[in-house]
Structures are given as structure tokens and as C-alpha cells.
């Protein structure tokens, strides 16, 4: 019986009830008796909902962008963002900060990682293979690299090759312009780690770009 | 600062995330070391190009509508989409909440009300005091950065004059407030000039005074009605800061002179400022 918990049965009534739309047959044990479960009307949500939407819907693009980069798949990104908003709404009463975007992005990030872990995504962290493209791009000079770095498609392909923690930090810094402190809070790493992780992510991205440019030649 | 250190700190510097003292040391190194300077320039322009070209995936109108309707359905167990996929099982293992307790007895409500009032009292009284140091620390960093920049970038003054009747009209014309400008030459703090600066999210006046070979930056901007009175002294990164508030203005003076001299400066300044 999805949606009905035993501890939520408010009353047992005879089968005939005034408001049939709120009833649902419930046969726990045919030998005993037939019950009707009266579902308590949901509490009116709009009072809480409007301030929530006002505070959080402006960050929908940021939420979707982060999820899309982390999951690399539109359907998953949409599911994660929807789930993140539901989670955020449930804990909104506990949010007293002023940085709604960072708070929401933390939830989006955690929800994304839950899904990535469930999928056994192998690229969550960098430990698996930092040296994947160690050779073959020495010929690409800085000027060529700079020239190609305006190619959105190329950057997308190179970004998608990176581990999730690199995609995450590059998105938060390059696209959301968040401070190191905010990034540390969202990615749940010490503040002192942000600079070195960002440096590694950028170096790795450069490397991936060079390999792709080298292949094009 | 050596090359290795400069390269290690490159991303932090380019992101503007280093403290002013370290930034200054890096700038010094870049003036001396062409290779590092070139590396910074190349990396900086590449980062900017990449950041600009990275596609930004905006949410569709459908997603917005889907989220709004799912929020309105409350937290009932609706499937995420018509299609059944693995993710749903993962996401909807919500713990049954202990909502019913909210209906059982009015004592809970009284307890809750008391807790809310208690929390509000704490929040109103304690939290602002706890937060102030954080805000002040942040402001102090900004003030020192501004002071350091004014000394190193050859931009100590916008209007260089020891005449308060030159400096004051110049500042008044540029700002939406009219700070008091006094000359303290006779007391050992000659006025050097004035400068516009930007601090605490607003344009502020900076008055520059000299003490022997040292410079003092006095930053002035209108005080909010809730500003706490009383002076506050701070030492950060070897600089002395002194803060006070009078009926109209916030004052922060930053310098590398010692604390007593700053205190003396404050007292002299306050004596000279016309009261009303």
C-alpha cells in the first residue's frame, strides 16, 4: 500500500462514508473485517511554498546546469533537480542563511552524487587515472590552445571526460563564479583544498583539450 | 617568493582569492620574473576563454512547471515521471515523518512556542554579537587591501593637497555625503590629500594623513542608524586598525604606525571635527 503507513491510520470507520473520494479499501486480513482508511487532508502548503519558490526558483538554471554537468544526461539531470527541490522544500524551515543559491546547489550536488554512486559511476574521484592522456599533445602550443578554447563543443567534450569532482569545481567557479569558501561548503572539502583541486582540474582540462586539438590536426 | 611558490599560487591569485599581502608578493615576483609573468598571462587568458565558452545548460520551461506541480502535490509519493526508472526507487525511500505527534497534545505546542520565543531572544541578542567579528574581519581585510593598494599602486591620492578647503569640496562633489576634513599638521599628522575608494559595497572617502615616514588611510562613510558606538582596535597582518563611529560617520583608520599613535590621531581628529 504505497502512500499509507500503519501509524498514519487516523480512524477506522464503517465502509460507508460521506466523502468517498477520501477513502480507500484496505483489507489487512480478510478474516477479520474490512476497514476504510481516512486519509487526513494534506496541510495547506501554499503559506510555506510561496516564500520557498520565491527564494529558490531563481536558482533553477544554476541547479539544472550543475546537475547536467555532473550527470551528463538530461533525463537524470531533470530527475535530480526535481528531487533536490522536494528535498530542499522539506528542509527549508531549517534554512536561515542568506546564500540560497549555495544552499540549493549543495542539495543538488548531494542528490547527483547519490545517483552517480548508485550507478557505480567510476569517475567520481580522480584517483582512478590521473595520467590517462599523458602523451601525444606536446605539439599543441598555448596560442593554438587559446584559439580553440572558444569552441563550446570542444570544451563540452573535454569537460565530459573529467572526473565528477573536477566537472563540479569547474562549473561552480567558471559558471557560477562562486568564492572558494562557497565552493568548499558545497563540495564538502576543506577551504585549503579548493585552490589545489581547481588548479588540477584546470590542468587536466587543458590536457584533454590539447589531446582533442592534436587529434583534429 | 620564488617561482615554484608563484606557480603554486597562480590559480588562487587569478581568482582573486589570496590575501593582499600574498598578492602583493606575487606582483613583486611577476615584475622581476618574465617567465612567471608570461605563465600567469597565458593561464589567465585561457581560463577566461574557457569560462566564457563553457555551455550553460538552462532549465527548460517544462522542468520548471514539473517542479512547481510536484511541490504543490506536496510530498506525496508521486512517481517522478510516467516512465519507471531505477532512480525512483532510490529517491522515494522517505522516512515516515512523525507528523502525528503535532496533533496529540497542546503541551507540545506550548513547548514549541516557548522554544521559538527562546530561540528568537537568543537570535536577537546573541547572534548579532557573534556575527559582528566575522563581518569586521572581512571588512578589516578589505581595508588593509585598500591601504596596501593605495601605497603600492602609486595612487595614494586623487586630490593631493594639504589644504582641507581643497580636499573637502573635491570629495563632496564626488560622493553622496560630506565627510569632515581636518588638517592636523600642527599636531604631527599633516593632511596629504583625499581619494575615492570603494568598500563595504559603497563608495567611501579616504583621507590620507602622514606621520613621519608613514601614511594613514582614514576611511569615512555614513554610519547606519544601528551602528555600535565606541572605538575598536585591531591588529591584522602587521597593520593597525582603529574604528570609531560618531553621530554621522563610520571611521576606520589603517596604518603601520603603532596603536597608541592611532589612538592619538583619533582623539585629535575628534577634537577638530565640528560637532552639531
Q: What percentage of chain B has pLDDT greater than the value 90?
A: 35
> Who's near A114: CB < 8 A, 6+ residues apart?
B90
Q: What is the pLDDT of residue A215?
A: 78
Smallest Cβ–Cβ distance between A149 and the set B53, B64, B91 belongs to B53
Residue A208: CB atoms within 10 Å: 22
Q: Which of residues 40-59 of B touch A (CB under 8 A)?
A: 42-43, 45-47, 49-59
What is the distance between the alpha carbons of residues B161 and B177, in angstroms, rounded to a whole number? Answer: 20
Instruction: Measure in Å the smallest separation between the Cα of B143 and chain A Cα atoms.
Output: 19
Task: Determine the number of helices (DSSP H) and then strands (DSSP E) in chain B.
Answer: 11, 7
| Interchain CB contacts (distance < 8 Å): A and B | 132
Residue B207, pLDDT above cutoff 80: yes
Give the largest CA-CA distance in chain B: 84
**According to DSSP H, which parts of B153-250 are helical?**
164-174
What is the distance between the alpha carbons of residues B205 and B227, in angstroms, rounded to a whole number? Answer: 18
* pLDDT tens track for B70-129: 998 864 444 444 333 444 444 544 443 333 333 444 556 677 778 888 777 777 766 555
* pLDDT tens track for B208-232: 999 888 899 999 998 876 666 677 8
- Going from the C-alpha of B260 to that of each of A115, B75, B163, B213, the distances in angstroms are 60, 62, 26, 16
Residue B34, pLDDT above cutoff 90: yes
Q: What is the pLDDT of residue B53?
A: 92
* pLDDT tens track for A153-205: 999 999 999 999 999 999 999 999 999 999 999 999 998 899 999 999 999 99
Average pLDDT of B233-254? 88
Contact A175 B91 (CB under 8 A): no
| Buried-exposed string A27-39: b where 16+ CB fall within 10 A, e elsewhere | eeeeeeeebbbbb
Q: What 3-state DSSP class applies to A25?
A: strand
What is the distance between the alpha carbons of residues A203 and A126, in angstroms, rounded to a whole number? Answer: 13
Which superfamily is assigned to B135-272 in CATH? MucB/RseB, C-terminal domain (3.30.200.100)
Residue A141, pLDDT above cutoff 70: yes
Strand order in the sheet with A12-13: A12-13, A35-37, A25-26
Task: Enter the ipTM.
Answer: 0.75
Instruction: Measure in Å the smallest separation between the Cα of A181 and chain B Cα atoms.
Output: 9
- Chain centre to alpha carbon of residue A192: 24
What is the distance between the alpha carbons of residues B55 and B224, in angstroms, rounded to a whole number? Answer: 42
Q: What is the pLDDT of residue A182?
A: 93
Smallest Cβ–Cβ distance between A82 and the set B55, B70, B96 belongs to B70
What is the distance between the alpha carbons of residues A207 and A197, in angstroms, rounded to a whole number? Answer: 15
What is the distance between the alpha carbons of residues A213 and A143, in angstroms, rounded to a whole number? Answer: 12
CB of B16 within 8 Å of a chain A CB? The answer is: no
* pLDDT tens track for A8-52: 444 444 444 444 444 444 444 444 444 555 555 455 556 778 889
Q: What 3-state DSSP class applies to B273?
A: coil
Mutate to test the interface with B, among A107, A172, A202 (most CBs of B within 10 A): A202
What is the distance between the alpha carbons of residues B149 and A13, in angstroms, rounded to a whole number? Answer: 78
**According to DSSP H, which parts of A74-123 are helical?**
74-90, 100-118
* pLDDT tens track for B152-178: 766 677 777 778 888 888 888 888 888
Contact B51 A198 (CB under 8 A): no
Q: What is the pLDDT of residue B226?
A: 65
- Going from the C-alpha of B170 to that of each of A133, B177, B191, B201, B210, the distances in angstroms are 60, 12, 14, 21, 20
In A, which residues are within 8 Å of B89 by CB distance?
none
Q: Which of residues 212-251 of B touch A (CB under 8 A)?
A: none
Start-end of CATH 3.30.200.100 domains in chain B? 135-272
Q: Which of residues 96-125 of B touch A (CB under 8 A)?
A: 96, 100
Q: What percentage of chain B has pLDDT greater than the value 70?
A: 79
Average pLDDT of B238-263? 89
In B, which residues are within 8 Å of A81 by CB distance?
59, 63, 67
Contact B100 A173 (CB under 8 A): no
Give the angle A180-A183-A189 at the CA atoms, nearest 5°: 100
Contact B53 A155 (CB under 8 A): yes
Q: What is the pLDDT of residue B99?
A: 39
Could you tell me which residues are beta bridge partners of residue B244?
A: B251
Q: What is the mean pLDDT of chain B?
A: 80
Smallest Cβ–Cβ distance between A64 and the set B10, B11, B63 belongs to B63
What is the distance between the alpha carbons of residues B148 and B238, in angstroms, rounded to a whole number? Answer: 12
Q: What is the pLDDT of residue A196?
A: 94
Mutate to test the interface with B, among A39, A79, A212 (most CBs of B within 10 A): A79
Are B198 and B204 within 8 A, CB to CB?
yes
Are B164 and B179 within 8 A, CB to CB?
no
What is the distance between the alpha carbons of residues B111 and B255, in angstroms, rounded to a whole number? Answer: 53
Instruction: Measure in Å the smallest separation between the Cα of B226 and chain A Cα atoms.
Output: 20
Q: What is the pLDDT of residue A7?
A: 46
Smallest Cβ–Cβ distance between A86 and the set B45, B51, B71 belongs to B71
In B, which residues are within 8 Å of A53 by CB distance?
68, 71
Q: What 3-state DSSP class applies to A146?
A: helix
Smallest Cβ–Cβ distance between B59 and the set A60, A179, A206 belongs to A60
Q: What is the pLDDT of residue A123?
A: 63
What is the distance between the alpha carbons of residues A134 and A13, in angstroms, rounded to a whole number? Answer: 72
* pLDDT tens track for A61-91: 999 999 999 999 999 999 999 999 999 998 8
Q: What is the pLDDT of residue B93?
A: 40
Tell me which residue of B257, B263, B181 sits closest to B216, measured CA to CA: B257
Q: What is the pLDDT of residue B47?
A: 93
CB of B61 within 8 Å of a chain A CB? The answer is: no
Residue B271, pLDDT above cutoff 70: yes
Are A8 and B96 within 8 A, CB to CB?
yes
What is the distance between the alpha carbons of residues B245 and B41, in angstroms, rounded to a whole number? Answer: 43
* pLDDT tens track for A98-132: 889 999 999 999 999 999 988 876 666 554 445 54
Amino acid at each position: 500500500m504505497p502512500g499509507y503507513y500503519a501509524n498514519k491510520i487516523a480512524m477506522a470507520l464503517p465502509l460507508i462514508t460521506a466523502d468517498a473520494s477520501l477513502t480507500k479499501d484496505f483489507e489487512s486480513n480478510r478474516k477479520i473485517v474490512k476497514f476504510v482508511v481516512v486519509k487526513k487532508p494534506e496541510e495547506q502548503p501554499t503559506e510555506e511554498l510561496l516564500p520557498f519558490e520565491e527564494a529558490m526558483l531563481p536558482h533553477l538554471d544554476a541547479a539544472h546546469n550543475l546537475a547536467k554537468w555532473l550527470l551528463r544526461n538530461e533525463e537524470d539531470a531533470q530527475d535530480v533537480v526535481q528531487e533536490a527541490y522536494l528535498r530542499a522544500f522539506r528542509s527549508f524551515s531549517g534554512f536561515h542563511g542568506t546564500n540560497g543559491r549555495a544552499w540549493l546547489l549543495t542539495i543538488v550536488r548531494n542528490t547527483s552524487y547519490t545517483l552517480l554512486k548508485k550507478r557505480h559511476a567510476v569517475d567520481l574521484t580522480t584517483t582512478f587515472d590521473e595520467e590517462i592522456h599523458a602523451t601525444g599533445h606536446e605539439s599543441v602550443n598555448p596560442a593554438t590552445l587559446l584559439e580553440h578554447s572558444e569552441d563550446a563543443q570542444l570544451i563540452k567534450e573535454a569537460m565530459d571526460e573529467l572526473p565528477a569532482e573536477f566537472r563540479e569545481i569547474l562549473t561552480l567557479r567558471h559558471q557560477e563564479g562562486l568564492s572558494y569558501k562557497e565552493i568548499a561548503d558545497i563540495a564538502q572539502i576543506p577551504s585549503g583544498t579548493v585552490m589545489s583541486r581547481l588548479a588540477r582540474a584546470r590542468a587536466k582540462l587543458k590536457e584533454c583539450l590539447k589531446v582533442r586539438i592534436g587529434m583534429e590536426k | 617568493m620564488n617561482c615554484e611558490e608563484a606557480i603554486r599560487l597562480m590559480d588562487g591569485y587569478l581568482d582573486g582569492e589570496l590575501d593582499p599581502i600574498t598578492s602583493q608578493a606575487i606582483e613583486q615576483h611577476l615584475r622581476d620574473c618574465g617567465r612567471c609573468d608570461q605563465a600567469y598571462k597565458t593561464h589567465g587568458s585561457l581560463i577566461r576563454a574557457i569560462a566564457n565558452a563553457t555551455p550553460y545548460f538552462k532549465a527548460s520551461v517544462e522542468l520548471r512547471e514539473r517542479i512547481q506541480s510536484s511541490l504543490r502535490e506536496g510530498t506525496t509519493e508521486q512517481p517522478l515521471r510516467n516512465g519507471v526508472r531505477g532512480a525512483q526507487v532510490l529517491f522515494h525511500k522517505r522516512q515516515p515523518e512523525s507528523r502525528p505527534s503535532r496533533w496529540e497534545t497542546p503541551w507540545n505546542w506550548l513547548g514549541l512556542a516557548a522554544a521559538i520565543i527562546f530561540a528568537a531572544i537568543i537570535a536577537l541578542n546573541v547572534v548579532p554579537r557573534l556575527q559582528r567579528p566575522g563581518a569586521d574581519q572581512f571588512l578589516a581585510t578589505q581595508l588593509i587591501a585598500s591601504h596596501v593598494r593605495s601605497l603600492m599602486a602609486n595612487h595614494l591620492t586623487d586630490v593631493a593637497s594639504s589644504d582641507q578647503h581643497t580636499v573637502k569640496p573635491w570629495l563632496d562633489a564626488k560622493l553622496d555625503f560630506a565627510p569632515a576634513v581636518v588638517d592636523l599638521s600642527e599636531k604631527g599628522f599633516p593632511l596629504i590629500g583625499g581619494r575615492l575608494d570603494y568598500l563595504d559595497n559603497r563608495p567611501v572617502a579616504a583621507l590620507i594623513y602622514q606621520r613621519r615616514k608613514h601614511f594613514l588611510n582614514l576611511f569615512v562613510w555614513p554610519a547606519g542608524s544601528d551602528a555600535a558606538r565606541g572605538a575598536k582596535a585591531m591588529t591584522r597582518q602587521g597593520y593597525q586598525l582603529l574604528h570609531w563611529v560618531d553621530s554621522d560617520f563610520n571611521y576606520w583608520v589603517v596604518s603601520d604606525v603603532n596603536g597608541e599613535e592611532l589612538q592619538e590621531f583619533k582623539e585629535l581628529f575628534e577634537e577638530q571635527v565640528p560637532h552639531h
